[in-house]
A and B are shown apart, each in its own frame.
Chain A
Amino acid sequence: MKFADVRSKRSTGDRPDTHPAEGLAASIRGLTVSLERDGARSEVLRGVDLDVGRGEIVGLVGESGSGKSVLALSMMGLLPQASRPRTHGSIEIAGVDVLNSAPSELRDLRRHELGVIFQDPMTSLNPTMRVGTQISEVSHDRETSLQLMTSVGIPDPELRFRVFPHELSGGLRQRVMTAIAVAGRPSLIIADEPTTALDVTVQAQVLELLADLRDTFGCSVVLITHDLAVAAQIADRIAVLYAGRVAELGPVAEMLRRPTHPYTVGLLSSRLSLETPRNLPLTTLKPETATPAERMLGCAYHSRCPLADEKCSREQPPLAPVALGADATLLHERSCWRSVAQVQALAHSRAPVDTVLRSESRQLSEAGESVRLDDVHVRFVLKSGARHREEVHALRGVDLTVGAGESLSIVGESGSGKSTLLRVVAGLIPPTSGAVHVGNKGAQMVFQDAGSSLTPWLTVGELLRERLRPLRLGSAEVQRRLDLALTTIGLPAGIANARPSELSGGQKQRVALARATVIPPSVLLCDEPTSALDASLAASVLNLIRELRSAFAMTVIFVTHDLSVARLMGDQIAVMTQGQIVEMGPATDVIERPEHPYTRSLLASVPTIEVTTS
């Protein structure tokens, strides 16, 4: 069968036929799962229908809280007993009824038919066992294990057979996980965010590996991810999950070219890529305004949907086939009341679904430089002793000048020294040698995990007031500044009495930003502030940082591992590897004409959605 005339990056090749009707690896019908959290029961999955064909790769895409991980756990029969799951519907994998089987049957199913790859291989591998032993537990003999290690692309399998997980890099650990997953020759591999914790270059390799495994072993893969582009790399079909229901389900190419659900359209347009316009505010989805009860009543997406009408808030749309052109041999389904034409008009309008206006007047108040680093070196001593002295040379001679009001993005993979550089500028780490100058209003920083950067037992108001204390303002003035800071950041003033645990992920990052800018600093340092957020939320935080920058004429140094974000946030991009800046220049130049081979390899690994119309 010619699968489709359009493909994402990876070509179809001559892989086995993947029509779902020709035997199913897994079949889920009307699956409803409710779990108990803090004493309250909530429906996490609400009637999911999904088939996985033999040899098929199905991408399961959804934001956090969409229920994608619970779906994976249900398929493995591993729902957490502590949250007392209640289930309806059916899951059938390799002829086994997963929901109503005895634990021993489920164990057999997991042993013989299922392979699992988790997000974080460090925590899912046993740290006290040698890698080879762990693989052999499933494959039963050394020879097969070595073969498996070779087939998942682990170089020097003989050597690696005897090491412990902590001695391997993140990418190799994920390969070991993969080797264990395929060791039992499973008919179905469930991969839950297998690439999220990995650097982009490694991410691309792991995805390639998954596709190769399907080609070699003929197993099916359920690839769970929050990133549509990751799924688009290798999946045959994509299921978009929203609030515990399948919003849209169809062949990859069809979905990307002709999305038929407003949420898919929103996901596609809020995704940041190397083509996103730099001078416009980023497209974001409308924030959720409906209460959970209201969401249960109608279409779960209605309060965020630009097309929603009254029917959408009252009746739940069923998952129904979409009539498409004759080339659609695989079923394309969606759950939406609005017509396909309306949704596609939305997609083609390319109009921002909801935009935050940004003042274009970027005042470069005073010329001059706001950050200067001269030949900065940082060494960390891991072990000090007379004989053994282990050091990490985190920064190896960094020279850097950032002008006042300029923005600089620093890109690099984990361990490149980019976070260390930021901490040196912030004054949190003293440089081992070299000089650091920061503008007279100092530096403030927002962290990757905003939640853990806020003191859990203090309220938002107390946290913000602390920054104002040295100014010795009167209490009325403090209150005014506090309200102003919260309004600027787009939070209601009432939030000042909330503690961090009562805030959502996006709100936490906003509070962190409010704290950093309640007295505008010379430099705002951002350490991957959006990498833990869902795409649409991330876009709104990025918009906010841009707005704050122009409002306060601040210098921004933005550290990220994502080149498309770096391009959007920086006038300049600096590429770091192994503690050195290897390339630096205007953002467009670095992206379009990369000079250093490392920059080129980074660029090549960025997952992209390439839709070529035939």
Chain B
Amino acid sequence: MTVAKIPASRMRVLAFTSRTPSGSRASMAVASLLLLVTIVAVLGRVLSPYDPVQPVGMLNLPPGSPDHLLGTDSIGRDLLSRTLWGIQISWFTSLVVVASGLVIGGAIGVTAGVCGGWIDNLLMRFTDLFLALPGALVAIAIVAALGPGLKNTLIGIMIVWWPYYARIIRAEVKSLASRPHVEAARLAGVGRGRLVLRHIVPGAVPTALVTASLDIGNVILLLAGLSFLGLGQSAPAPELGADTARSLQLLLTQWWIPITPGIAVLLMSLIANLGGDAVRQLLNSKR
């Protein structure tokens, strides 16, 4: 039919966006970038050629210098080492935050969705309370109260990060619980706990995973933002946001010093978002 009239160039675009095997292969490749970043983060300390805290070379070396691939900063610390350490810290902290969101939000969402009634109301109004407050500001307030530092930043973000997950998982569980297979399982004599764990929760896993993988980028940005504002790691330790902030005044003279950690943040959050999208496409095409 009319397909014959579509020019070949457009067909290729269609092929790329549709969920054909070639499309899912592309998704697979993008999703494996997530793994790649994780590997880089795991090996960060081993890969980094120098101690990130000690001055190890000339001051203000530009990128491409023989011993310092990404150059050095204004007190002679190796930028590559600092960036690798920074990547490790922000990647893992954001994974921890997202995982805590999944666990706390998941527990609250599943409980609310399964129990319904006043428990649902109570838990969801509590969730609404958190959603009503701007998360980043609350996190800043918590960190300010606890004192700056990586651990406190983590606690601050974790406290504000779960409500979103609770909402999404509750909605998913509610719709799954009303599906016929749950009624059929109930009739087959499946007990309540088993019903929830085997017949409802597995159905909510794909949605939760997709939400989580798309969320990693947000957490990376928020973490970098907080440490840019001085609420993250304390001074000598490598931290991408803080490094950018501290050397920002060098932007016009030694541009690579603030730009390098900034680009690392950009790349990580970009990969996290693309990877999350790819995960979603893979899970959707499987269903």
Among candidates B20, B188, B202, residue contacting A466 with C-beta atoms closer than 8 Å: B188
Among candidates A81, A87, A452, residue contacting B180 with C-beta atoms closer than 8 Å: A452
Any chain A CB within 8 A of the CB of B133? Answer: no
With A454-B181, A456-B203, A467-B188 known as contacts, the answer to whether A85 contacts B3 (CB < 8 A) is yes
User: Does B5 contact A102, Cβ atoms closer than 8 Å?
Assistant: yes
User: Does B203 contact A457, Cβ atoms closer than 8 Å?
Assistant: yes
When chains A and B are docked, how far (Å) is the Cα of A463 from the Cα of B187? 12
Any chain B CB within 8 A of the CB of A445? Answer: yes
Number of A-B contacts (CB under 8 A): 74
When chains A and B are docked, how far (Å) is the Cα of A18 from the Cα of B202? 58
User: Does B2 contact A453, Cβ atoms closer than 8 Å?
Assistant: no
* Chain B interfacial residues counted at CB < 8 A: 26
When chains A and B are docked, how far (Å) is the Cα of A516 from the Cα of B184? 9
User: Does B187 contact A445, Cβ atoms closer than 8 Å?
Assistant: yes
Q: B169-211: contact bitstring with A at CB < 8 Å (1 yes, 0 no)?
A: 0000000000111111111111000100011001100000000
Q: Which residues of B contact A100 (CB under 8 A)?
A: 1, 4
Q: Which residues of A contact B1 (CB under 8 A)?
A: 74, 77, 79, 85, 87, 98-100
Q: Which residues of B contact A458 (CB under 8 A)?
A: 198-199
Any chain B CB within 8 A of the CB of A428? Answer: yes
Q: Which residues of A contact B21 (CB under 8 A)?
A: 39
User: Does B4 contact A454, Cβ atoms closer than 8 Å?
Assistant: no
Any chain B CB within 8 A of the CB of A166? Answer: no
When chains A and B are docked, how far (Å) is the Cα of A455 from the Cα of B179? 9
User: Does A445 contact B184, Cβ atoms closer than 8 Å?
Assistant: yes
Among candidates A82, A444, A455, A463, residue contacting B18 with C-beta atoms closer than 8 Å: A82
Q: How far does the Cβ of A508 sit from chain B's closest Cβ, in whole Å?
A: 11
Most buried by A among B184, B189, B202: B184
* Chain A interfacial residues counted at CB < 8 A: 41
When chains A and B are docked, how far (Å) is the Cα of A398 from the Cα of B194? 34
Q: Which residues of B contact A10 (CB under 8 A)?
A: none
Q: Which residues of B contact A427 (CB under 8 A)?
A: 187
Q: Which residues of B contact A162 (CB under 8 A)?
A: none
Q: Which residues of B contact A456 (CB under 8 A)?
A: 181, 203
User: Does A455 contact B189, Cβ atoms closer than 8 Å?
Assistant: no
Least CB separation from B199: chain A residue = A455
Among candidates A87, A102, A426, residue contacting B187 with C-beta atoms closer than 8 Å: A426
User: Does B181 contact A455, Cβ atoms closer than 8 Å?
Assistant: yes
Among candidates A39, A428, A463, A469, residue contacting B20 with C-beta atoms closer than 8 Å: A39
Q: Which residues of A contact B184 (CB under 8 A)?
A: 445, 447, 453-455, 512, 515
Q: How far does the Cβ of B163 sit from chain A's closest Cβ, in whole Å?
A: 27
With A77-B1, A79-B1 known as contacts, the answer to whether A449 contacts B180 (CB < 8 A) is yes
Within 8 A of B (CB), among A226-275: none
Q: Which residues of B contact A39 (CB under 8 A)?
A: 20-21
Most buried by A among B5, B187, B188: B187
Most buried by A among B180, B186, B194, B202: B180
Q: Which residues of A contact B203 (CB under 8 A)?
A: 456-457
Nearest first, the 4 A-B pairs at minimum CB distance are A453-B184, A455-B181, A452-B180, A39-B21
